[in-house]
Structures are given as structure tokens and as C-alpha cells.
Amino acid sequence: MPTQKTLAVTGNTLVAEAIRQCSPDVIPAYPITPQTTVVEELAKFVANGRMHAEYVNVESEHSAMSAAVGASAAGARVATATSSQGLALMWEELHIAAGLRLPIVMFNANRALAAPINIHCDHSDVMGARDTGWIILFAETAQEAYDNTIMSFRIAEHPEVLLPVMTTADGFITTHSIDRAQIMDDETVAAFVGDYEPENALLDFGKPVTHGSFAGLGGPYFEFKNSQRMAIERARDVVKSVGAEWSAITGRPFGMVETWGMEDAETAIVVIGSTAGNARHVARGLRAEGKKVGVVKVRCFRPFPYAELAAALKGVKAVAVMDRSESFGAEGGPLFLEVRSALYDLDERIPVVDYIYGLGGADVKIELIDRVFADLSDIASGTAAPSGLVYLGAR
Amino acid sequence: MTTIRELSHREDLLEGGHRLCAGCGASIAVRQVMLGAGGTPVVVGCATGCLEVSTTIYPYSSWKTPFIHNAFENAAATVSGVESAFKGLQRAGKIPADKKAKFIAFGGDGGTYDIGLQSLSGAMERGHDMVYVCYDNGAYMNTGIQRSSATPMGAWATTSEVGSVGQGKPQRRKDLTSIMAAHNIPYVAQASISDWKDLTSKAEKAFAVEGPAFINVFAPCPRGWRIPYDSTVEIAKSAVTSAFWPLFEVVDGEWIYTKRSVTRENRKPIEEFLKPQGRFKHLFKPGNEALLAQVQTEVDRNFDHILKRCGL
């Protein structure tokens, strides 16, 4: 019988609990703000004999992911965590982890990238990894960070997928704020996640395999990439089915996209992560005034839920995309580019405006969201033309 | 030390038919080192480089033992991950607690002295039960003979050119073996493919210790050194007899010189090592006498330094 406890905890504490409950065999760890309390908690679990994992105090994030690749190829369940510059330093290895089809699970505390150096939240780090072949999940709350982390192991290790998963939460906002959340009992999580049965493990000495071959002659590289594309496409159904299964156990809904007020919304904000709460808060107030507004939150960014997004936004008169990262020189931030692409196949042409906001932890004040909905209202009523890219709240 | 007769019955874990050049020193180094594992299962990791590229051309593999290539600078970190998986899985009860295995990483000098130094240092400091073997051919051979920090002083390379101003690499070599000894790991050795019994014996010792071990193996590259394909072993031998590459080991901090037949007094002049190699031919041109003398001075200084550490 699943038993849940309600706690007042930070996101990082819950992520560490989730990793402990999923029993990885190896944890290569390197500290970086604001991920540190995750690896500290895990070190305590190991020191207290509450985890069997081999904890590897690597000397850099590059080595963290390199050791994760070695350990995963060896046949171990592997988890690690990072943030910002650390994720950037791993960039080479992120591609290799995905290309070798290794189901590594990594938590990322979303944080700005230098320069100038900044330790606070935005999505520049994760978005920089969006084309590395990893499945990428975003959390709004500590609860979602917990749930996503547990689901990540199931998704990554699914035989139809075998891809690494990055489970993320907003640095400080979600990782360090104390939030109310429910934690599942250890047995239920263990049963849900199950045992990892690796294929082609290096440590299967009876069947020696070569990992990381040179595929530079005669075109097999191209075939490998095609199979990787097919795997992440198959992950769409796996993300949904694993989400449904966890949802049935916990009673908490999961969707690649989550909607609020979209049944009859005329204008909508599309948002990722902790700001979704601010957006719903403002939308609730506007609804009370009789304004038909809605919020769409993207929880799974890779694979990107194009069909779900188009279905949610169909019939809306104007859409605002909130991007917490840049794609300098592009028409908008990474989320904007995906959302506009998702809307292309609809019969009607919906005006879409991109708002770059909250970079480096810049405050996401309620007035700013008010302004976005006000802009949308003007665009929807025809009193204003859709503006291009807006730096929301910039002086 | 295992006898030659016994070694001759051991299986070569690197199968023939790979695409390394004729006369490549790397494959000799690999064979002699792997023989030292003595039948215990071995997982091999390899840095990007000639050895990796030439032995794992998809869909083929020359490796008759589990093998992983990850990237250029992280063979040590990667193998440390494999070794950690072995421990973690043993603790999980998925691998029998009494099961034994060896973990080995190979890297060239570029992947070890230069880009992989941090990864190697970290893995050694953490105390993983693994052996790291550098096959040192003194340049980035896979990308076309570019200079590394292992390239000898005065050597031509495609990024330390010889011209009206440049006369090859102006700097000294990095003393990597001493750097590894400074990690205070149980076993460090310097060996050469020419002294193959010594090499296999050192590999046996490296595999036998609990914890990290490092072996730096001198492994000539005919293509990069501009030498005939059938002179690999001879050139390696003259590196030892000229004291360019002294053979020694550091066992639990104790320095031991293992080539007692080569002494300060009878070491051959460095010309014997340099002259047959096209990469040093400019050193023998009129006007470069001082440079040649400087190379000899540097070799003698290094040799003296090692002998003193060995109490000789």
C-alpha cells in the first residue's frame, strides 16, 4: 500500500531523496552552486549506509559525466547532478552519453551561464543542452522535481528508449525554497523503478563488447543518429505512460504539457518551470474579472510536445511565450522557436510574442506578468500589433 | 616474474588484423602490458587516438575483452567509472563479492601528458584500482605529428616546425612519470617496448597492487619519427641505452632503477638515438652544434636526477 508523507522541504532535499530511493550503483559527483546540497545529501546517505552506491568524488564535471558514461556502460544504474558552468563543461560528454545510449539520470539546478558570472536562476544552461540527445524534464515545484526524478529512471532505462534523462528544477527558487511536498515510501518507489537490467554491459565478461567504436568510415554514423532520433521519438509514449503510472500511484497528475484555463482561453502564456506559478496566480485574478486567460506549462522539453501544445493553443487569439534563456540572433528564445513551430500546422495563424525574462535570477514580479496579459489582450482585440521580442522588465 | 614459456601460452587480448601502421610501437606496448594481467578478466578503456581508431572500426573490433572508448581527455575518468560500477554492483549483490577483475586505461602522450592530465590526476588521487598506461610516442600522431608536452627538445613536429628561425621544439619535455610518482600511488613505472620482459614484469606488478598504478611506456612511431618501419624496437632500445628514456619504477614511494646495465659512465651519446630519426635531422646541420649539445645536457641532467632519486 503506497504511503506518502507530507514534508516541508527544499527541492534539492527531495531530489536527493528521490535519487536515494531509486538506488543508483554509482554517483559521480562534483559540487556547484546551487546543486551542492543534492550531492551533500547523497554523500551523507552513503556515509550512513543508507545507499549502496559507489560515490566518486570526481575532479570536474567533465570527469563526472565521463565516469558516469564508464559506469553506465559497465552496467550500473548511474545518477549525478550539476548546474550551469558544470553542465556547460560536460557538453562534450552529454552527446557521448546519448550517442552511446546510456540511461544516466542527471539533475540540473537551472542557473545562468557566465559572463558576467551569476549564480541565480535562468534556463540558459539546460537550453544549451537541448540538442545533445538527452530527454529533458522541467519542474515547477519541489514536488515536481521529486516526481520527475523518480520517473526519469524508468524513462531512461525503458528498453524502447535507453537515453539519458536530465531532470531539472529552477536554481534557488525551487532548489532552495522550502515547499510543501509529499514523499512516497521507499518500497513503493523501489517497486515502481524496478531493477536495471543492462544490455551489453562491459562487466559481462562472458560476452565482451566494444563500446564507443569509430564509425567514421562508410556511413554507419548516419545510421546511429537515425536510430537515436527514433529512440527519442519513442520516448514520447514512454514519458506519457510512465507519467500516467506514477500519477495513478501518487494521485498527482502528469502531462508533457499542463494547462490551466485553456478550455475557453482567448489569450495564453506558455511558460516553463517555477514562473508557471506566478502566471497562474495572475491568470486567476484576471479570470475573477471575467477575462478568458490561460496558462500552458511545458514539463517535458525533449522530446518536445508539439501536438499537445498545438491542441492546447488551438483557437486562442494571442499567445505569449516566456523564455528564461536566450538564443542570441534567433527570432526568439528556445521555447518561442518551439512553440511557433508547434502552431505552424494549425489552420489559423495565432500571433505569438516572445518575452525574455528573469535572466540571471532577475525578479519575476507579478506586475510583469500583468503586463504580458495586458499586451495579449491588446493584440487579441486588435488595438495593438504583436511586438517582436520583448526583454520583460528591462530598464 | 612469469617465464617466457608461460607468457607464450597466454592469449593476446588485442587481436591481429587491426589497422595500426606496420611497426607501430603502441600495439607492442598493449600486448606486453595485457600479458601481465595473467588471465584475470580485464576491461580496457582507451583515449581517442591511433590505438582506439585503428582497433575499433565499426562494425569490427580487435579487442577480445570488454572495451570502451569515450573521448580524448577522459580515459582515466571513464575507467574510474567502470571500476566504480564494479564496486557498486558488488555491493548491490549483482556481482559476486569474490569476483576479481582488472581495469586498464590506455592513452597516448597527447591524451595523457596534455589534455588528459587532469582526468588522470583525479583518478589516481581517488585511489581507483586501475592501471593507466601511457604509450608515449612524443607527439599527436593520430592528427598528424603535432607537438605535445612529451615531444623531445629539438624535435621537428608539424606545429614545432624547422625553418629559417625555428629549429624544432625549443622546450624541455614534461616529466610526467615523476608527476605521477608525486601522487604517492602504490606503483609507478617507466618502461620501453624494447625491454619487453621488463615491461611485462612491470605490468604484472601494476596489476598486482591494490589501488592505482601508472606505467609510461616508450613506444616509437615510425611515421612520426621518420624512421623505417622495421626499426621501431632498435630505436626504442637506443633511447634506453642513451639514457634518453631511463627505465625505473617507484614502488610505494621507493625509486628503483631497473636498467642497471646503463650507467652515467657507459650511456651512449644521444646522437645514436637522434641520428636515425628524420625528425632530428636538422640538429646535425652546421650551425646547430650548440642545440645538439643542449639536448645532450638535458638528457644527462634528467638521467642524473633519476639515478639520484634511486640512490645511485
DSSP string, A219-241: SHHHHHHHHHHHHHHHHHHHHHH
Lowest mean pLDDT among A284-288, B6-10, B140-144: B6-10
How much of chain B, in percent, has pLDDT values that exceed 90?
Answer: 96
A4-185+220-250 in CATH: which number?
3.40.50.970
Among B81, B88, B89, the residue with its CB nearest the CB of A66 is: B81
Q: Quick check: A159 contacting B, CB < 8 Å?
A: no
The answer to whether B105 touches B212, Cβ cutoff 8 Å, is: no
Average pLDDT on B65-80 reads: 98
- A93 with B74: Cβ contact below 8 A: yes
A257-391 in CATH: which number?
3.40.50.920
Q: Which cell goes with A261?
A: 484555463
As beta bridge partners, residue A239 has none
- B85 with A53: Cβ contact below 8 A: no
| Higher-pLDDT residue of B165, B1 | B165
Average pLDDT on B64-75 reads: 98
On chain B, the residues whose CB falls within 8 A of the CB of A75 are 85, 89
Question: Does the structure show a pLDDT above 90 at B1?
Answer: no
Among A23, A53, A211, the residue with its CB nearest the CB of B68 is: A211
For helices B25-35 and B232-241, the axis angle rounded to 10 degrees is: 70
What's the number of CA atoms in the CB half-sphere (13 Å) around residue B123?
A: 36
Question: Does the structure show a pLDDT above 90 at B7?
Answer: no
Among A54, A70, A204, the residue with its CB nearest the CB of B87 is: A54
Interface of A with B in 180-219 (CB under 8 A): 202-205, 208-217
pLDDT at position A218: 77
pLDDT band of B39, cuts 50, 70, 90:
confident
Report the mean per-residue pLDDT for chain B: 97
pLDDT at position A386: 83
Question: Which residues does chain A have with pLDDT short of 50?
Answer: none
Mutant choice from A60, A92, A210, A224 vs B, greatest count of B C-beta within 10 A: A210
CATH number at residue B245: 3.40.50.970
- The residues, ordered by sequence, that sit 6+ positions from B83 with a Cβ below 8 Å of its Cβ are B103, B128, B129, B130
- B80 with A56: Cβ contact below 8 A: yes
Question: Which residue in A155, A150, A177, A134 sits closest to A4, CA to CA?
Answer: A150
Domain hosting B211: range is 4-309
- B85 with A96: Cβ contact below 8 A: no
User: Count of domains in chain B?
Assistant: 1
Mutant choice from B69, B79, B84 vs A, greatest count of A C-beta within 10 A: B84
Quote the CA–CA distance of A360 and A326 in Å, as a whole number.
11
pLDDT band of B2, cuts 50, 70, 90:
confident
pTM: 0.98
Q: What is the CA radius of gyration of chain A?
A: 21
B205-260 pLDDT, tens per residue? 999 999 999 999 999 999 999 999 999 999 999 999 999 999 999 999 999 999 99
pLDDT at position A238: 98
The answer to whether A191 touches A21, Cβ cutoff 8 Å, is: no
- A52 with B88: Cβ contact below 8 A: yes
pLDDT band of B282, cuts 50, 70, 90:
very high
ipTM of the complex: 0.97
- Please tell me the total number of residues recorded for chain A in this structure: 395
A14-57 pLDDT, tens per residue? 999 999 999 999 999 999 999 999 999 999 999 999 999 999 99
The answer to whether A78 touches A72, Cβ cutoff 8 Å, is: yes
Residue B80's closest chain A neighbor by CA?
A: A67
